[in-house]
Amino acid sequence: MAGGGLREDLLEQLEKVRSLVKAHGSPHREVYLDLENSGLVFEEALVALHEAYKIHGNPSITHRPGWRALEAILEAELGLMDLIGVDNGEVVFTHSGTEANNLAVMGLARASCGRRKIIVSQIEHLSVKFPAERLQEHGFKLVEIPVDEEGFIDLDYLAGQVDDDTLMVSVAAVNHEIGVIQDLRAIAEIVKDKSPGAIIHTDACDALGRIPLDLESAGVDIASFSGHKIFAPKGVGALYVKEGLKLEPILHGQLSSQRLWPGAENIPAIAGFARALELFRKNFDEYRSRMRRLRDMLIDGIFERVDDVVLNGPKGDMRAPDNVNMSFLYCEGEALTVELSLRGVYVSSGSACTSRTLEPSHVLLAIKRPYEVAHGSILMKVSPMHDEDDIKYVLEQVPEAVKRLRAISPRVVM
Amino acid sequence: MSSRIPLPYSPKVLELFRNPKNLGRMEDANAVATAGSLACGDMITIYLKIDDQRERIIDASFESYGCAANIATASLLTEMIKGMTLRDAWNISWKQLSDELGGLPPIKYHCGVLAVGALRRAIRAYYKDRAKPDWLPDELTPDERHALEEEELMKILAKRISEGGRNSH
C-alpha cells in the first residue's frame, strides 16, 4: 500500500482527537444540553432497539423475520400517526430528519407538473433551505418569507406571495434554533385560500412531543420528523405524506417496503422510535410541563446571574418548552462552548466559528441580531430526562465561564 | 486530505485556551494594535513593550474576543515574540503559528492570520513616528492584506444585514 495521502491524514487526525479527548479529561459532573445536534436517548427506547436487533428480518421479504420487521414498522407508523393527529396518508421512514426534509422538497419538485414557486421562511433548517436553493438551478423560483424579531413569519408577506404558480410552502412548526412556534393553521388557511393546489410542508422535527400536533385538521400536507429529537436512537427520521399527494422518490435502489425511500430500513432504530413515541404519547403533559419548568429555571437563572444577555426567540407560551437560546455579549460562542465543555456542560453556538463559512447562524441574522450578538449565542435544550439539579449545576457554571471569557476580551463598547 | 470537517483542535490549543499566557491589557505598552472586529467574531489586540534602543520586544500581551483557537494563537504568539527584535517578530508567519500549535484546522487558519495581522500592525504603529527601518516594507504584506480582507468582508456582510437586504424576497 502506498504511504501518505488519506490514510496518513486520517491516522494523524485520529491521534489528534484521541489526545484532545484525553487532554480535556472527564469533568466530575456532566450535563448534556446540545440536544439540537445529537439527542439523549430514553433507556426504554434503547431496550427496544436492542430487542429489535434480534429480529434480523427485512420487512419486504416473505418470511417470519421479515414479518416481524414489518410489525415493528407498522407499530412505529401508528405511534407517529397518533401523536401528530392523522388518520390517513402514509409515513415514510428515512434515516434522519435531514433526509425527510430533502425528500419533501426535492420529491415534490420532481413530481410537480407546472408549478415552479417554492416558498420557505427565512429561518428554515438548512435541510429545507439548501435543497430549495438548489432547485433554483432547475428552473424553480425561491421566495423567502421574512420573520419579525421574535421569529414569527410575516403572514401578510406570505399572502402576497402565494399564487397559482406556488408548488409548496414550507414553514417549521417549531424553529430548531430559537424555538418560535408558528401558527400552522393560519399559514395553511392563507395558502389554501390563495391557491388550493399549493402544498404545505412543515419541518416538525422540533415540534414533535413539544407542542400538540393536529396536522390533518391544521391543513398540513407533508411533515418531517426526527427520531433523536424525541430521544429515540439516532438513525431514524420520518416523513408523513397526506393521502393522494404525489411525491417522486429522490433515491433509487433495491425495492424496500416503502416506495419513497429505498434501501434497508433501520428496523432497530424504528423500534426505538416507536417506544419513544409511545412514551411521549403517554406522558405528553407531564413531559411538557417538566421541560417548561426547567427551561424557565434556566432562562430566569441566567438573567439573574449574568449581565448583558439577550434571549433569542419569543418568551412564554409561544416558545418551545425545551428551547433556551441566549446571546452573551462580549463573549464568542465557540470559545464558550469549549469553556463550558471543560466544565462538563455541553451546548452549541450559532457563532460563525462553529460553522463552515464566515457567517453566523442564518436564523439569528434573520431575526435581525447583529453579528456580534449572533457570535455570542448559545443554544441549550432541556429534556424530560433532566432535573433541577442539572439546571442548578449549569447555572453555577455558565456565569463563571462567561466571566472568564469576558476577562480575556478587549474592553470594547458594542 | 480528508474532506471531513471539522478537523479537531490539537491538545496544545486546548491547553493554551485553558491557561493562556500574557493575558490582559498592558498599561505601559509603547505599541498597540487590533485586528479583526466583533462582527468578524474574532478580534485580537496585541500590546508590545519595546526597548527603543535595541528595537527589541521586552514584553507582550494580548486581549482576545474569539474562539478557542484565537485565544491559543494569541497566547503562543505573544510568548514567541518576547525577547525578539522587531525585525524577527515581523517575519513570523501564520503558518509558523499553526505548525507550533500542532496544526490548526483549515477553518481556523484565519485565527493565525489575525494574530500576525495584529502584530504587524503594532510594529507599523511603533514606527509611525520613528525612522522606518529598511526591512519594513512600504506595501502591506500578504498576511496583512489577508487580515484586512477578512475585516472588509465582514463589514460588507454586516452592512447587508443592517440594511435587511440579504437573500431574495
Chain segment B106-128, per-residue pLDDT in tens: 778 888 889 999 999 999 999 99
**ipTM for this prediction:** 0.87
Q: Which residues of A touch B43 (CB under 8 A)?
A: 410, 412
Q: How many CB pairs under 8 A join A and B?
A: 126
Beta bridge pairs of residue B120: none
Section B80-103 average pLDDT: 94
Domain contains A55? yes
Cα–Cα distance list, A138 to A109, A124, A211, A384 (Å): 10, 21, 36, 44
Residues A31 and A56 in one domain: no
Q: Which residue of A lies nearest to B18 if distances are taken between CA atoms?
A: A339
CATH code, domain with A299: 3.90.1150.10
Bridge partner residues of A119 (DSSP): A143, A169
Considering only the beta carbons, identify the residue of B2, B23, B40 that sits closest to A10. B2
What residues of chain A lie within 8 A of the CB of B5, using their CB?
356
Which of B16, B34, B38, B151 is the best substitution to test chain A (most A C-beta atoms within 10 A)?
B38
Whether residue A116 is found in the same domain as residue A265 = yes
Domain boundary among A282, A314, A331: A282
Whether residue A242 is contained in a domain is answered as: yes
pLDDT of residue B167: 38
Average pLDDT over residues B9-34: 94
> How does residue B104 score in pLDDT terms, banded at 50, 70 and 90?
confident
Query: Could you tell me the three cell numbers for A392?
Result: 442548578
Query: What is the mean pLDDT for each group of 10 consecutive residues in chain A (414 residues)?
Result: 75 90 96 93 98 91 93 96 95 97 98 95 97 97 98 98 98 98 98 97 98 97 98 97 95 86 94 98 98 98 97 97 96 94 95 69 94 92 98 98 92 53
Residue A2 domain flag: no
Of A17, A351, A408, the CB nearest to B8: A17
pTM comes to 0.93
Name the burial class of residue A256, with classes exposed (0-12), middle (13-18) and buried (19+) by CB atoms within 10 angstroms of its CB: middle
Residue of B nearest to A23 (CA): B11
- Are residues B1 and A122, on separate chains, in Cβ contact within 8 Å? no
Residue B33 · residue A45 · CB < 8 Å? no
Same domain? A327 vs A277 = no
Same-domain check for residues A252 and A310: no
Residues in chain B closer than 8 A to A157 (CB atoms): 169
Q: Report yes or no on A413 lying in a domain.
A: no
Domain span including residue A106? 43-282
Q: Which residues of chain A have a CB within 8 Å of the CB of B150?
A: 358
Structural domains of chain B, with CATH: 11-131+138-161 (3.90.1010.10)
Q: What is the pLDDT of residue B6?
A: 64
Work out how many domains chain A is built from and give that number. Answer: 2
Last residue of a domain, one of A282, A308, A323: A282
Q: Which residue numbers of B are catalytic?
A: 40, 111
3-state secondary structure A296-335: HHHHHHHHHHCCCEEECCCCHHHECCCEEEEEECCCCHHH
Residue where a domain stops, chosen among A282, A312, A336: A282
Are residues B43 and A55 in contact, defined by beta-carbon separation less than 8 angstroms?
A: no
